[in-house]
Amino acid sequence: MPRIYTSCSDPLDFCKKHFPKTEAIAFKKYGGKEDGPDGRGDCFGYDCEHPDYSDTDYTCVVCDRPLTAADNGEG
């Protein structure tokens, strides 16, 4: 956690506070809208692997806060 891939396979990173609580909520907002690259179908993914945020300059897509090791958490 906390990364989601949109239906188009675009990665979205969230702080723990703003990560959608359920896959259904996330899919409603970020999935089912378009096919992924090369016509592969819906590439939506919930709670996907991501780089260690302590080693990156990623920010939360909702609040723009820099992501830290505290956001690497499980579940």
- What confidence tens digit (pLDDT) does each residue in 14-50 have? 999 999 999 999 999 988 777 666 777 788 999 899 9
Please say whether the beta carbons of 45 and 63 come within 8 A.
no
20 found inside a domain:
yes
Alpha carbons 35 and 70: distance in angstroms, whole number: 33
In a domain, 19, yes or no: yes
pTM for the complete prediction? Answer: 0.83
Asked if residues 29 and 21 have their Cβ atoms less than 8 Å apart, the reply is no
Give me the domain span that covers residue 19: 1-51
Give the pLDDT confidence score for residue 75 in this predicted structure: 43
Let me know if residue 59 belongs to a domain.
no
**57 within some domain:** no
Q: What is the pLDDT of residue 25?
A: 95
Domain count, the chain: 1
Residue 62, in any domain of the structure? no
In-domain check, residue 21: yes
- Would the CA dihedral through 52, 53, 55, 61 be positive or negative? positive
Domain assignment present for residue 71? The answer is no
22-28 long-range contacts (CB < 8 A, ≥24 apart) are: 23/47
* 23 falls within a domain: yes
Encoded tokens for 7: 């239906």
